Amino acid sequence: MPNMSRRPFLQLALGAATLPVASRGTRAETLARPITMIVPFAAGGPTDVLARILTEYMRNSLGHPVIIENVTGASGTVAGLRASRAAPDGTTITIGHWGTHCLNGAIYQLQYDVREFAPIALLASGPQLIIGRPDLPAKNLKELIAWLKTNGDKATAGTAGPGSGAHVAGVFFQQLTATHFSFVPYRGAGPALNDLMAGHIDIMFDQASNSLPQVKSGTVKAFAVTASSRLASAPEIPTVDEAGLLGLYIAYWHGIWAPKGTGPDIVSTLSKAVMSALAEPVVRQRFAELGQEIPSPDKQTPAALRDHQAAEVEKWWPIVKSANIKAE
């Protein structure tokens, strides 16, 4: 039982030690303690890459590093549970996306609510690429669909986990093209892409930020981008509409959250740190090279992320539920 009568004194004493600059109105109470950012997928994958670019620059305003911890498994739900149970004191935050903070709520029976986190900032969004192993005989999307129709019994698509965005996009693709193939779940799109390059699986519906470098170097084949316009950083890849598959649009947005109950001062400090990292020219350039579109500052705020997530939940949960996509 803590000695309650000593608490105010202890808090004052600790406050003096750990919150030296809060009163200067710049760096608040998160400053003096290490921050861990949970990345819900394997190292080297798209979410991990964005997290590492961002945290490198968040340290400028926070004054110390943000440590990345990859907590993988079950399409980000292992990390989601862990992040939801972390202390709401600014020491643990999580990066997530359309899959972890929208789809998972419709697909998994979770012990937390994907909408319960304290939003920090909306980062960026980018489409997927429909890609194949380098020696796949198909030269374009129509040939890929024809190949899948005759090889469906053995064709495989790598995903970032059961019910992940890659899996969901693959199910929509199957429905639109009347094809069938098996899904192979990984602990993230990074390891799945490695297996695609090695020819162990045939195709992926992959975030462009993950596969663009490999497409450029010719180690995977790109058939289409899941958007209505081509990517500025890869204008040679046709849109799904141009490639003959009307309307398979998938926009993967990323955000940062803290556990629910995190106080407004901490949220504000973290949000400012993310937003100033997103304003860095180097960060903007690296995100753009990865096909990521950063929203304007007024659309990066905690309120903007909360509204965006709510709108995505409203849009996608009925679609995913009626498509009967299961986490299996």
Binding-site ranges for ligand MLT (CB under 6 A) = 41-42, 45-48, 97, 99, 160, 164-166, 188-190, 207
- For residue 97, the minimal CB distance to ligand MLT (Å) is 6
Give least dist CB 38 to ligand MLT, A: 12
Task: Calculate the alpha carbon distances from 177 to 67, 78, 275 in Å.
Answer: 43, 33, 41
Nearest-approach distance from CB 105 to ligand MLT, in angstroms: 14
Of the two residues 45 and 170, which places its CB atom closer to ligand MLT in the complex?
A: 45
Count of beta carbons in the 10 Å neighbourhood of residue 315: 11
- Separation of alpha carbons 80 and 71, rounded Å: 9
- Choose between 269 and 309: whose C-beta lies nearer to ligand MLT: 309
- Please, which residue, 123 or 267, has the CB nearer to ligand MLT? 123
- Closest listed residue to residue 222, CA positions, set 117, 126, 124, 133: 133
- Work out how close the CB of 39 gets to ligand MLT at its nearest, in angstroms, rounded to a whole number: 7
**Smallest distance, ligand MLT to C-beta of residue 293, A:** 16
> Is the distance from CB of 171 to CB of 91 less than 8 angstroms?
no
What's the DSSP call for residue 162?
Answer: T
Contact present, 79 and 259 (Cβ < 8 Å): no
Please check whether residue 242 is in contact with residue 153, taking contact to mean a CB–CB distance below 8 angstroms.
Answer: no
Instruction: Tell me the C-alpha distance between 232 and 225, whole Å.
Output: 11
Q: Which two tokens stand for residue 162?
A: 């059961």
Comparing CB distances to ligand MLT, the nearer of 267 and 320 is 320
C-beta of 19 vs 313, nearer to ligand MLT: 313
Q: How far apart are CA 105 and CA 311, in angstroms?
A: 14
Task: Tell the smallest beta-carbon distance from residue 47 to ligand MLT (Å).
Answer: 3
Q: Can you tell me the distance from the alpha carbon of 32 to that of 47, in angstroms, rounded to the nearest whole number? A: 26
Q: Nearest distance from residue 195's CB to ligand MLT, in Å?
A: 13
Nearer to ligand MLT, 219 or 268 (CB): 219
Q: Which amino acid is at 317?
A: W
Residue number, 90 or 170, with CB nearest to ligand MLT: 170
CB 254 within 8 A of CB 260: no
